[in-house]
A = this chain, B = another copy of it.
């Protein structure tokens, strides 16, 4: 078991220097949010998630959620109490609309809070995460009556939400789904069909569960154009808001998974007894479009899981490496052993973890604040630019974040040596838990295809060109700040990113096999470069603050930030050039190898 300490210093630094939260706070949308108190809010959140939620993580892994013969699902010991504390404290409501009981905070603050929740207990965090998805869908596309009925209790966390897309034959290919929704005289629908991989599809934490379900109305066109979106509550809700009859949707089994054991992954059967009552959201056949509008936030949330679990595993590995003594260093007193954190090879693992985590935090928080600006900026041009930035960064956050989640938790296991493989140590759980994140909410391959397809094509490549152009400004600032080596490394990576982008665009992007073949290495290349750019900006800010006379622990933090950025620039950014040939190799080499 490991303690978790919310990385408040780094969160504050990234919120200030990368997300520019002071400028965000000036938007009228956040005038009443009380952002002045943000440091206190984050400190209190850090305390809450470390003390109340983090201790449930290991119990959750050992006990798991269990389906009972009657179809109900019992969560692990302590989850109900922990979740109620979470709801009572209002953490889930913070970044939502005050009109429905939310706290009116920016999304980037919600992301910071969710990072702590997820690091404390990833399996539990998926419940609020799915609820957030439901809130976003209803907020964007629900009628006023639907919003009034469902939003307040979803935002408070009294009820939870789920997303029902996948069916056995319809995974990445959502358009292949067959669940049916038949209209009834009263305007409702009766749904029937089976959905799989439904996260927190049944559980005992809330009185009601609001399932959002993709289904086909009779005579709907084939594929994604014939899909509509429905609200299907576990319990119907009476006009006075009280809970009514049990709806015809039931958990028929739970999956046995490698990790996130406490998160019940359900097979849900709709309409075994005549049909599950559902209420259509928005227009018929517009379900896929509605899903896309909430996809950015859901994918960012999954990328955040990579960051959060990586951070927790890093903290555990660092603590172990300080404590565990093996072998000697030149300055080890006679008869003693040195803490392994002092050995260069162990240090390389820890610094690699730290550097990538901090780069990733920059990316994820920048992505989140772009969502805020795209929605709330007073200037239309700024809203548009930030929507483009959101669209571009989201696949990077999701895929790079979760790939790094896998890599960093694996390094954390490695730092522990043999103890890392023993379940009681706890670090193996992080490695198992996070492995799902590269798969769900669109596999990382799907993210890469989205990047070389829709995202590269935005304004015919100009959105990416402009982002890379901004890196050029940072390069100039680095030279002026006497950070010449960092400038050289960033300039080289940016040049490779530009060459890769142009080559892919010329080959037709996601519309061509050559583009698709290069998608995954391209995403890695671009994300690694963006991470290097954001850490370079961090280095400039750290140097500025040091020059302004920071002292004490703040000074140590800033010096470490500068050294971490140097490490990333010198030793991680160069990996970009090793990826370039793969991006530009085209599809032919892949099909030349027979796989039959």
Contacts and interface: CB of A to CB of B under 8 A. Distances in A.
Interface of A: 166, 171-173, 176, 196-197, 255-259, 318, 321-322, 326-327, 337, 341, 343-351, 354-355, 406, 410, 413-414, 417-418, 420-424, 428, 431-432, 435-436, 438-440, 443-445, 448-449, 513, 516-517, 519-521, 556, 559-560, 563-564, 566-567, 570-571, 574-582, 585, 587, 589-596
A171 B419 CA distance: 10
Contacts of A594: 556, 559-560, 563
Given A327-B172, A439-B420, A590-B347, A574 B564 contact: no
Contact of A439 (B417, B432, B574): B417
Contacts of A445: 343, 345-346, 349, 414
Given A570-B581, A581-B570, A593-B354, A435 B421 contact: yes
Contacts of A171: 326, 417-418
Contacts of A337: 173, 176
Contacts of A580: 574
A418 B166 contact: yes
Pick from A255, A421, A582, A595 the residue with the most CB of B within 10 Å.
Answer: A421
Query: A interface, by DSSP: helix, strand, loop or mixed?
Result: helix
A487 B147 CA distance: 65
Contact of A428 (B258, B321, B341, B410): B258
Nearest to A440: B418
Contacts of A596: 322
Given A341-B595, A440-B418, A589 B570 contact: yes
Given A421-B258, A431-B258, A327 B173 contact: yes
Pick from A196, A355, A521, A594 the residue with the most CB of B within 10 Å.
Answer: A594
Nearest to A406: B410
25 contacts: A171-B326, A171-B418, A256-B424, A257-B421, A258-B423, A318-B595, A344-B517, A345-B519, A345-B520, A351-B589, A351-B590, A354-B593, A355-B593, A410-B435, A414-B443, A418-B440, A420-B439, A428-B435, A432-B432, A563-B592, A567-B590, A567-B593, A574-B577, A574-B581, A578-B578
A520 B571 CA distance: 12
Contacts of A589: 351, 563, 566-567, 570-571
A497 to B, nearest CB: 14
Contacts of A449: 345
How many monomers of this chain does the complex have? Answer: 2
Given A348-B590, A574-B579, A578-B578, 19 more contacts: A166-B418, A173-B327, A256-B424, A257-B421, A258-B421, A322-B595, A343-B445, A345-B445, A345-B448, A345-B520, A347-B517, A413-B439, A414-B445, A421-B435, A560-B594, A567-B589, A567-B593, A570-B582, A575-B579
A163 B565 CA distance: 44
A437 to B, nearest CB: 10
B413 A435 contact: yes
Nearest to A436: B421
Contact of A432 (B197, B258, B571): B258
A422 B585 contact: no
A327 B175 CA distance: 9
A520 B413 CA distance: 16
A581 B569 CA distance: 10
A96 to B, nearest CB: 29
Nearest to A448: B345
A574 B348 CA distance: 22
A575 B578 contact: yes
Given A435-B431, A513-B344, A581-B570, A172 B563 contact: no
A289 B196 CA distance: 57
Contacts of A354: 593, 595
Pick from A345, A414, A582 the residue with the most CB of B within 10 Å.
Answer: A345
A326 B520 contact: no
A521 B344 CA distance: 12
Nearest to A255: B422
A581 B585 contact: no
Nearest to A557: B594
A494 to B, nearest CB: 16
Pick from A166, A417, A420, A436 the residue with the most CB of B within 10 Å.
Answer: A417
A354 B595 CA distance: 9
A344 B516 contact: yes
A543 to B, nearest CB: 14
B172 A257 contact: no
Contacts of A585: 570-571
Contact of A257 (B321, B423, B519, B575): B423
Contact of A587 (B341, B344, B350): B344
B414 A439 contact: yes
Nearest to A565: B593
B520 A348 contact: yes
A126 to B, nearest CB: 13
Pick from A347, A431, A596 the residue with the most CB of B within 10 Å.
Answer: A347
B593 A422 contact: no
A141 to B, nearest CB: 26
Contacts of A577: 574, 577-578
A567 to B, nearest CB: 5
B443 A417 contact: yes
Contacts of A258: 421-423, 428, 431-432
Contacts of A560: 593-594
Nearest to A347: B590
B590 A581 contact: no
